[in-house]
């Protein structure tokens, strides 16, 4: 079904992804006994040393129906068991949970248009890149930046990163190609900060995290939280990164607060965020987004139907394998380099939060297949009544 819809969207121009009719006559339920297949897939991945451990949360409507920890949160220098409240470096989940959501909040408050050019807010930009191009990774900006080079220059030029982004060669004209780029979301961060008058951390905290009661979600987490944080990669001095973001741009150029990475959170908090998305922008009477904003944020615009990206989320690009094979046609999600993932199926009112620290202690583990296996197992637990 999903592949048929994609085919129609791409080749007939008559259907934009996300516009299929929802099932309004049947109510979904989750057979928790069948979720042991997800357990088995995760335990097999740990056995194969692909990951040290994991936390899985399954959300149904507005409730967490499954929350489980597996393996270790740390294998080096000593082993420590994973717990369900373990906090993870989210890596690129930052892009959707913090940056894109902040942009959409500003849009629905009448502060910005997605059609606005970046140059309206960042004078260094001299081309036609618009906010919508940054959100959908269709700006033409390259995927990353030369961190060591820019780090050396930053001593004398604090704004060296944005100057680099504004001047760097584009691979294509805006809207005419897809390159997944961290630079898009750093640019969006600067727009949030210019318009709101707050740094991204404070804006997201006040308008998203505190509203939803996401108590373990923040940039640069306090040292008292470090004891429940999963470490990431071992460094040249044999110390693991703990409570410090793994992403080099965020860590070395942005002081831990960046639009592309830097956010830390746990499975329960991300389940709250996912439930808000499933519930059209509200959770337990607290509103983050309007239903129309959620719809816009989870629908691939017709002009970008070839690329499969929404205003923040991924529906059917080449990065969408974490959705597995069986979830509904309107499923969307996002992943993070460190081993994190969110998948949301609005038709069946299911969200899957899978958190791992696959880069610990060395950046050798892989979760690409595991994410899909877990998504399939969760889909297999869904029934109707």
pLDDT digits (tens, 9 = 90+) for 25-83: 568 899 999 999 999 999 999 999 999 999 999 999 999 999 999 999 999 999 999 99
Does any domain span residue 115?
no
Q: Quote the crossing angle between the two packed helices 160-167 and 182-196, to the nearest 10°.
A: 120
Q: What is the pLDDT of residue 27?
A: 84
Cis peptide before 380 (omega within 30 of 0): no
Report the mean per-residue pLDDT for the chain: 93
Asked if the structure places residue 128 within a domain, the reply is: no
Which pLDDT does position 24 carry in this prediction?
47
Instruction: State the residue for tokens 């036609």.
Output: 128
Closest among 230, 220, 234 to 357, alpha carbons compared: 230
116 is a domain residue: no
pLDDT digits (tens, 9 = 90+) for 262-284: 999 999 999 999 999 999 999 99
| 113 found inside a domain | no
Domain presence at residue 178? no
Express each pLDDT in 146-204 by its tens digit: 999 999 999 778 899 999 999 999 999 999 999 999 999 999 999 999 999 999 999 99
Full residue range of the structural domain in which residue 248 is found: 2-91+199-384
Q: Does a structural domain hold residue 120?
A: no
- The DSSP-derived string for 141-191 is --S---HHHHHHHHTT-TTHHHHHHHHSPPSS-TTS-----HHHHHHHHHH
Quick check: 370 and 324 in contact, CB under 8 A? no
CA atoms within a 13 Å half-sphere pointing along the CA-CB vector of 358: 23
Question: Which pTM does this prediction carry?
Answer: 0.93
Domain count of the fold of the chain = 1
Q: Picking from 17-21, 248-252, 333-337, which range would have the lowest pLDDT averaged per residue?
A: 17-21
242: domain CATH number is: 3.40.710.10
- The answer to whether residue 48 is domain-embedded is yes
Reported as a single tens digit per residue, the pLDDT across 90-131 is 999 999 999 999 999 999 999 999 999 999 999 999 999 999
Instruction: Indicate whether 235 belongs to any domain.
Output: yes
Per-residue confidence (pLDDT) for residue 385, from 0 to 100? 73
Q: Is the confidence at residue 22, as pLDDT, over 50?
A: no
Q: What's the pLDDT band for 17 if we cut at 50, 70, 90?
A: very low
Element (H, E) at 53: strand 53-60
């Amino acid at each position: 079904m999903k592949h048929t819809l994609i085919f129609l969207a791409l080749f007939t121009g008559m259907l934009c992804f996300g516009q299929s009719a929802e099932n309004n006559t049947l109510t979904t339920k989750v057979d928790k006994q069948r979720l042991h297949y997800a357990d088995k897939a995760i335990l097999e991945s740990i056995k194969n040393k692909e990951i040290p451990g994991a936390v899985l949360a399954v959300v149904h409507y507005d409730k967490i129906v499954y929350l489980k920890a597996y393996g270790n949160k740390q294998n080096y220098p000593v082993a420590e068991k994973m717990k369900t409240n373990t906090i993870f470096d989210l890596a690129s989940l930052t892009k959707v949970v913090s940056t894109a959501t902040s942009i959409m909040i500003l849009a629905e408050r009448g502060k910005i248009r997605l059609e606005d050019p970046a140059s309206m807010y960042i004078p260094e930009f001299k081309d036609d890149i618009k906010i919508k191009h940054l959100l959908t990774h269709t700006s033409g900006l390259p995927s990353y930046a030369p961190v060591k080079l820019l780090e050396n220059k930053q001593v004398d030029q604090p704004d060296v990163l944005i100057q680099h982004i504004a001047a760097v060669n584009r691979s294509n004209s805006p809207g005419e190609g897809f390159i997944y780029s961290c630079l898009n979301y750093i640019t969006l961060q600067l727009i949030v900060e210019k318009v709101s008058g707050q740094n991204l951390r404070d804006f997201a905290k006040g308008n998203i995290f505190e509203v939803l009661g996401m108590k373990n979600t923040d940039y640069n987490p306090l040292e008292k939280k470090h004891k429940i944080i999963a470490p990431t990669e071992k460094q040249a001095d044999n110390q693991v990164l703990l409570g410090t973001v793994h992403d080099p741009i965020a860590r070395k150029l942005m002081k831990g607060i960046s639009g592309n990475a830097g956010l830390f959170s746990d499975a329960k908090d991300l389940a709250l965020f996912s439930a808000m998305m499933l519930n059209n922008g509200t959770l337990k009477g607290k509103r983050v987004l309007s239903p129309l904003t959620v719809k816009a944020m989870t629908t691939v615009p017709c002009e970008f139907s070839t690329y499969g990206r929404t205003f923040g989320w991924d529906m059917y690009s080449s990065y969408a394998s974490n959705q597995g094979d069986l979830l509904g046609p309107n499923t969307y999600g996002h992943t993070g380099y460190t081993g994190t993932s969110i998948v949301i199926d609005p038709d069946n009112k299911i969200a899957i939060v899978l958190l791992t620290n696959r880069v610990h202690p060395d950046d050798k583990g892989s979760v690409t297949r595991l994410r899909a296996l877990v998504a399939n197992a969760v889909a297999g637990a869904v029934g109707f009544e």
